[in-house]
Amino acid sequence: MYPIVAKKCLNPTVTMMDIAAPLVARKAQAGQFIILRVDEDGERIPLTVAGYDRAAGTVRIIFQVVGATTEKLNHKQVGESIQDFVGPLGEPTHLAGLKKVCIVGGGVGCAIALPIAEALHAMGAEVHAIIGFRSRELLILEDEFRAVSDRLTVMTDDGSYGSRGTVTVPLQAALTAGEQYDEVIAIGPLIMMKFVVATTRPFGVKTTVSMNPIMVDGTGMCGGCRLTVGGKTRFACVDGPDFDGFEVDFDEAMARGSMYRDFERHAHEETCNLFQKEVR
Amino acid sequence: MPANLRPDKNPMPSQPPAQRAHNFDEVALGYDEAAALDEAARCLHCANMPCVSGCPVNVHIPAFIEQVRSGDFEAAYQIITQSSSLPAVCGRVCPQENQCEARCVRGKKGEPVGIGRLERFVADWHNQFSAAAPVRPAPNGHRVAVVGSGPSGLTCAGDLAKKGYAVTVFEALHLAGGVLVYGIPEFRLPKRIVQQEVDSLRQLGVDVQTNVVIGKTMTIDELFEQGYEAVFIGSGAGLPNFMGIPGESLKGVYSANEFLTRSNLMKAYRADAATPIWKGGRVVVVGGGNVAMDAARTALRLGGQVSVVYRRSMEELPARREEVEHAMEEGVEFHLLNNPVRILGYQNPDDPRDPKNGCVKAVECIRMELGEPDEKGRRRPVEIPGSEFVMQADVVIIAIGTSPNPLIKNTTAGLEVNRRGGIIVQEDTGATSRSGVYAGGDAVTGAATVILAMGAGKTAAKAIDQALMG
């Protein structure tokens, strides 16, 4: 069992937790992920590492409540434990040698982008961060990003905070203005990463994306997380989760991501009903 | 008492096909005492014991059968466990027809003695009626790490623990058992049987740590730093192969590993499961091995109308005959001498948001004929030009084998692998190119059988003991 040692709500649907998992904390690096099961008979879900404290032996996860499993996880409190927690899995983000980087985060993807921005900042690289949300209520980690960014741009779809529009607007403007980035690293919804790649491609700026497909074991055994990258089948769990954005078939990834949508919606509703009954 | 000279084995009581095709309960129900006593009396107790040499772990077969015949089933169990750490598993999933039973003298005129059925009876009897906990041997002060809790790892761990070693088994998944829990379905090997076997090893003192991925959470080198004096790698077969044909990423296409893991390990077959799986519809399983049979029979039980597509003929089909017969009785169709060339997807031209878009619609196959034998002597399948045809399908399961997982190789300097990625070992010891590191099972051989993996675990345990104790 893996105890929850800290919990904080970042916005109405996004929660941060620190989990005691010393073996994982010892090895975790930015860009890697873990797999957890909330309880016995629970589903295995992958979550990208949002931080770690090697001395305390804890790993930070930040998740959005989107389905039955994240709903159950969100109902767990400090002092309670989760059943299984394994990692770190996948390859860390390759940061060596980078001097100037634009980090683009969308929604809960900002949770994964932050440790990368922090690592780059600690290396002495110049960090430009663009973070986007649907609206002001969903904003997360602004102060944390500001602390490690040489330039921070906050975007909201509805203009309720920062500037109005998608993350590609300031990215396009920066590239057009002649900003020379060693790399653009984009983490967020598939549709956002697809459009970031469409924005950077004409400028030929190397663009890395972090993929988070459906997984079961997370060690290469099942192949459920396969993607087409550069025309080849790759497994996100062992070959990724980072890939060259110019090579990823995003449309296929989006289709595969919807494989269990009906099941997931139904399971989430059932779980919510169950929790409501408990409250009554 | 004279030997029972009837030519046939006592039949295995089984669930009728029409019934079992709709449930996940075990197909074979096992002998009762009367059948076991009667079958044991068929053994002629040959002086040269050909059956024993046919067993990869050399179970003392005539000796345990003699105890069954005399009615001392616990004594029979104790004889089996001298050689095998997983008798209830082996009695169910070993291909006895190619091993012990293939060499049984009774098989020359009639059927061999039902050695596997007797082994299963003895193990189940012990698990049901015996309270005797295994005796923990005195510790010998040495520590050994085992990577993977499948058949090879559990066997290696069990053999070393019986000699007094402090053994830690590291398992990547949340449950011990490896392929016995994620791969082989409940209806062939109930998971409570696997857990009983794992529990007996725990009682022997084996420490099983789940959720540790060696190569990620810890490396082989770190295991030595922590004081383990030898490491056995039994990490299994690894990454599923795909065919490399168009359409393999459509929704509804699974590797057999994924389909079986969802159903077996994650219990997706249950109505209340948290893990989803596509149930029902028309299912095409590609491949002809035991894994293909397991996938086909699982899909059938999930409500599917199932076809197996295999590129050679029934004669070359590598699955156990018994599994093929069971699958046929249950209603799985076999389309032999066919090979898929592409998987076709659904796309609604009028509605880009149609949820069926991107789902499997059909499989296009081409007919094959058998040509000249290849280097292994198997006749090579050759496409018949222009013979393409389309089979309707909602789910496609690719069961054409696996490639070794590179996680350990990539993080262990000096560990040599062959060109397919399998770890290179000395056959008689399981020793790898790294001092103190041994390996066995599918990580070495590629996908093979449970009992061969157990044999490799046993060989390595013996070699580790010799190396550490001198």
Say which CATH number the domain at B88 has: 1.10.1060.10
Which residue, of B352, B377, B400, is where some domain finishes? B400
Residue B166: CB atoms within 10 Å:
18
Pair B420, B378 in one domain: no
Supply A26's token pair. Answer: 């010892």
Domain holding B328, by residue range, is: 242-400
| Residue B106, in any domain of the structure | yes
pLDDT of residue B163: 93
CB contact under 8 A, B236 and A221: yes
Pair B343, B291 in one domain: yes
Pair B395, B447 in one domain: no
Q: Which residues of A touch B248 (CB under 8 A)?
A: 233
Which residue, of B339, B370, B400, is where some domain finishes? B400
Pair B202, B69 in one domain: no
CB contact under 8 A, A222 and B274: no
Q: Given a cut of 90, is residue A229 above it in pLDDT?
A: yes
| Residue B135, in any domain of the structure | no
Q: Which residues of B touch A255 (CB under 8 A)?
A: 250-251, 357-358
| Residue B301, in any domain of the structure | yes
- Going from N- to C-terminal start, the domains of chain A cover 2-89
Q: How many domains does chain B have?
A: 3
What is the nearest CA distance from B303 to chain A, expressed in angstroms? 17
Residues A70-86 have pLDDT tens digits of: 999 999 999 999 999 99
Q: Which residues of A touch B212 (CB under 8 A)?
A: 23, 86
B267 contact A CB<8A: yes
pLDDT of residue B144: 98
pLDDT of residue B281: 94
| Residue B134, in any domain of the structure | no
To test the contact with chain A by mutation, choose from B179, B217, B397 the residue with the greatest count of A C-beta atoms within 10 A, namely B217
Q: What is the DSSP letter of B150?
A: S
Pair B267, B363 in one domain: yes
Q: Which residues of A touch B242 (CB under 8 A)?
A: 223, 226, 233
pLDDT of residue A279: 60
pLDDT of residue B1: 58
Pair B395, B326 in one domain: yes
Query: Could you give the percent of chain A with pLDDT greater than 90?
Result: 88
pLDDT of residue A267: 86
Residues A143-185 have pLDDT tens digits of: 999 999 999 999 999 999 999 999 999 999 999 999 999 999 9
What is the nearest CA distance from B282 to chain A, expressed in angstroms? 17
pLDDT of residue A263: 85
Pair B159, B234 in one domain: yes
Pair B250, B367 in one domain: yes
Token pair 């459509």 is at which residue?
Answer: B250
Search chain B and give the residue with CA nearest A235: B239
Search chain A and give the residue with CA nearest B250: A256
Closest in B218, B240, B407 to A23, CB measured: B218
ipTM: 0.93
B349: left (phi over 0), alpha (psi -120 to 50) or beta: alpha
Which residue, of B129, B151, B166, is where some domain finishes? B129
Q: Which residues of B touch A250 (CB under 8 A)?
A: none
Q: Which residues of B touch A27 (CB under 8 A)?
A: 216-218
Q: What does pLDDT average to over chain A? A: 94
Reading chain B (470 residues) residue by residue, the pLDDT tens digits are: 567 889 999 999 999 999 999 999 999 999 999 999 999 999 999 999 999 999 988 999 999 999 999 999 999 999 999 888 889 998 998 888 889 999 999 999 999 999 999 999 999 999 999 877 778 899 999 999 999 999 999 999 999 999 999 999 999 999 999 999 999 999 999 999 999 989 989 999 999 999 999 999 999 999 999 999 999 999 998 889 999 999 999 999 999 999 999 999 999 999 889 999 999 999 999 999 999 999 999 999 999 999 999 999 999 899 988 899 999 999 999 999 999 999 999 988 998 888 888 999 999 999 999 988 888 777 889 999 999 999 999 999 999 999 888 899 999 999 999 988 899 999 999 999 999 999 999 999 888 888 889 999 999 999 999 999 87
User: DSSP secondary structure string, chain A?
Assistant: -EEEEEEEEEETTEEEEEEE-HHHHHH--TT-EEEEESSTTPPPEEEE--EEETTTTEEEEEEE--SHHHHHHHT--BTBEESEEEEEESPPP--TT--EEEEEEEGGGHHHHHHHHHHHHHHT-EEEEEEEESSGGG---HHHHHHH-SEEEEEETTSSSSEES-THHHHHHHHHTT---SEEEEES-HHHHHHHHHHHGGGT--EEEE-----SSSSSSS-TTEEEETTEEEEHHHH-SEEETTTB-HHHHHHHHTTTHHHHHHHHHHHHHHHHHHH-
| Residue B264, in any domain of the structure | yes
Let me know if B213 is exposed, middle or buried by CB neighbors in 10 A (0-12, 13-18, 19+): buried
pLDDT of residue A271: 85
To test the contact with chain A by mutation, choose from B182, B195, B216, B243 the residue with the greatest count of A C-beta atoms within 10 A, namely B216
Pair B311, B378 in one domain: yes
The angle, 0 to 180 degrees and rounded to 10, between the axes of the packed helices B61-69 and B33-40 is: 130
CATH for A2-89 is: 2.40.30.10
Residues of chain A contacting B, Cβ within 8 Å? 23-24, 27, 37, 41-44, 68-69, 83-89, 216-217, 219-224, 226-228, 233, 235, 238, 249, 252, 255-256, 258-264, 267
Q: Are A248 and A197 in contact (CB under 8 A)?
A: yes
What is the nearest CA distance from A259 to chain B, expressed in angstroms? 6
pLDDT of residue B132: 75
| Residue B137, in any domain of the structure | no
CB contact under 8 A, A222 and B218: no
Closest C-alpha to A48, from A169, A201, A166, A209: A209
Within 158-177 of B, beta carbons closer than 8 Å to A belong to: 172-174
Pair B188, B265 in one domain: no
Closest in B217, B273, B355 to A24, CB measured: B217
- Domain holding B391: CATH number? 3.50.50.60
CB contact under 8 A, A41 and B182: no
Pair B78, B174 in one domain: no
Supply B88's token pair. Answer: 């209830």
| Residue B9, in any domain of the structure | no
| Residue B286, in any domain of the structure | yes
Q: Are A111 and A145 in contact (CB under 8 A)?
A: no
pLDDT of residue B131: 76
B409 contact A CB<8A: no
CB contact under 8 A, B274 and A256: no
Q: Which residues of B touch A25 (CB under 8 A)?
A: none
